[in-house]
Amino acid sequence: MNEPANKAATSAALRSFEASWRARPADGLAAMRGEAMQRFLALGLPTPRDESWRYTNLRAMAAMSFIDAPRIANGAVTAAPGESWIAGAGMSAIRILNGYPQLGAGADSGLAHVAVRSLRAVAESEPKVIAERHTAAAESEEGRWTLLNRALFVDGLHLRITGRVAGPILIVHAANCPDGSHAVHSRLIVETGPGAAATIIEHHLGAGGGTLLANRATEIDLAPGASIEHYRVFSGDERTTQFDSVDVRHGADSRCRQFTVVLGGALVRTDLRAHLGGIGAQHDSYALLAGRGARQIDCVNTIVHAAPRTTSNQTARAIGAGSSRVVFNSKVIVERGAAGAQSQQSSRGLLLSPNAELDTRPQLQIHEDDVKCAHGATTGRLDPDMLFYLLSRGIERSAAQSLLIYAFLDDVLTGIASMPTRRAIEDALVEELPDADLLRSFR
């Protein structure tokens, strides 16, 4: 049994998180959990007064009580909803159901150069591997959900990548909860050896039955010369709240291409923190944020250049239909000593409905003279001249609109190096747009 936190929980949600925390075992991680829980409770739920939560109001969530999503036995896989539409030939898929990975006996992925373990197994045998990790997220106030994840995660995955992995590793985050409000706090830790290379795709599906709060954290450590292409794709039902945090720590000359693709969910908050701490490291991030219906998407990137000759590029494309609200908030920090750093941000928004709202906020904090930083942010509607040109060639109006929306997203889509993944995302995207038939032939 854990000691009670010294700050009283002030909302139903906080009280329910605290209750979940009390139920965690008093194992080698208890101290870490306790510290994280206390800090989380001290911070409380974010309010619009918090700098990075200005646009996302969690008042409704605060009144809800969440219980842990149940563990479903391995044999009951068939009961899980929603197969991943990304799954394809040449991919190795691992399913995480309600936060618990469904690994085969022996925990051998069958993949060369990858060791896959459940985080629970790691926690039991080597709790220090987890307890001693420090992530930038947990140290910053914006990272409060990462703190909660630290306090409450029960399981997740640990990947150790030691060489060049052939096909993409697909991690499917599925949930299968009965009615009611459930929470899943799962965690993914990726460690790489020097020169390792892999593509990791995390596909977040919706919950099916009840209301789900998915609070997930991914940490990627890049050894010198390592190269990772990471995707997180959100799709599925409109009853899921996703808080998803990705932390990437860069060694020298390492490279990460990170894609955040939001095509589903009710409220999706994504955090990306890239720490370029090794000389010559490069981080390229891409965001494709499709706001539709009443969806809220809040995408927050923080890129820190902490070593010389580091490079970052950010490309974000947001569309707002229905009464959706999409925020893209990116901050680039160049620390003193990061000479020769280069940073570029391009964020564009396309407003498709008068009731939708798009906000983009590029920010730069530069503490070094020898840097090259550029950023551009625009938001507009469909170009009437382009639309008329297509109409004048006989294209149906709805198809013309979809074509232009699709074209608007081109810079992100063409950045996707994994062709089967790109196809799958394009197909899913097309379903979200009018005139899917015509668009399907458009590549």
Partner 1 sequence: MNLNTGKQVLTISNLCATVAGKDILKGVDLEIRAGEVHAIMGPNGSGKSTLAQVLAGREDYEVTAGSVSFDGVDMLALRPEERARAGFFLGFQYPVEIPGVNNAYLLKAALNAKRKAANLPEVDAYEFLALIKAKMKFMQMDESFLSRGVNEGFSGGEKKRNEILQMLILEPKLAVLDETDSGLDIDALKVVAAGVNSLRGGEHAIILITHYQRLLDYIEPDRVHVFAGGRIQKSGDKSLALELEDRGYDWVRGDRVA
Which parts of this chain interact with partner 1 (CB under 8 A)? 383-386, 388-397, 399-400, 403-404, 406-411, 438, 442-443
C-alpha 31, offset from chain centre: 27
Q: Are 257 and 230 in contact (CB under 8 A)?
A: yes
Q: Per-residue DSSP letters for 260-275?
A: EEE---SEEEEEEEEE
Minimum Å gap between C-beta 85 and partner 1 is: 23
Q: Which is nearer to partner 1, 173 or 317 (CB)?
A: 317
Minimum Å gap between C-beta 29 and partner 1 is: 48
Name the token pair of 374.
């550029």
Minimum Å gap between C-beta 129 and partner 1 is: 45
Q: Which is nearer to partner 1, 366 or 438 (CB)?
A: 438
Q: Which is nearer to partner 1, 40 or 408 (CB)?
A: 408
Minimum Å gap between C-beta 436 and partner 1 is: 14
CA distances to 104, 152, 224, 283 from 116, in Å: 11, 21, 21, 25
Name the token pair of 213.
């709060």
CA distances to 124, 276, 303, 327, 332 from 306, in Å: 34, 6, 9, 26, 11
Q: Are 172 and 70 in contact (CB under 8 A)?
A: no
Q: Which is nearer to partner 1, 152 or 430 (CB)?
A: 430
Pairing type for strands 255-262 and 325-334 reads unpaired
Phi/psi-derived region of residue 82, left when phi > 0, alpha when psi is between -120 and 50, beta in every other case: left
Pairing type for strands 325-334 and 357-366 reads parallel
Distance, in Å, from the CA atom of 161 to the CA atom of 388, rounded to the nearest integer, reads 51
Minimum Å gap between C-beta 401 and partner 1 is: 12
Q: Which is nearer to partner 1, 132 or 437 (CB)?
A: 437
**How many CB atoms are located within 10 Å of the residue 264 CB?**
23
Residue closest to 274 by CA, chosen among 200, 201, 317, 334: 334
Minimum Å gap between C-beta 395 and partner 1 is: 6
Q: Which is nearer to partner 1, 51 or 383 (CB)?
A: 383
Minimum Å gap between C-beta 279 and partner 1 is: 35
Q: Which is nearer to partner 1, 237 or 411 (CB)?
A: 411
What single DSSP character describes residue 73? -
Minimum Å gap between C-beta 69 and partner 1 is: 40
Q: Which is nearer to partner 1, 226 or 412 (CB)?
A: 412
- Three-state DSSP class for 13? helix
Minimum Å gap between C-beta 390 and partner 1 is: 7
Minimum Å gap between C-beta 376 and partner 1 is: 15
Name the token pair of 413.
């889509």
Q: What is the dihedral of CA 119, 125, 128, 130, to 10 degrees?
A: 0
Name the token pair of 430.
């097309």
Q: Which is nearer to partner 1, 207 or 400 (CB)?
A: 400
CA 326-327-329 angle, to 5 degrees, is: 160
What single DSSP character describes residue 14? H
Residue closest to 411 by CA, chosen among 304, 291, 318, 292: 318
Q: Which is nearer to partner 1, 359 or 396 (CB)?
A: 396
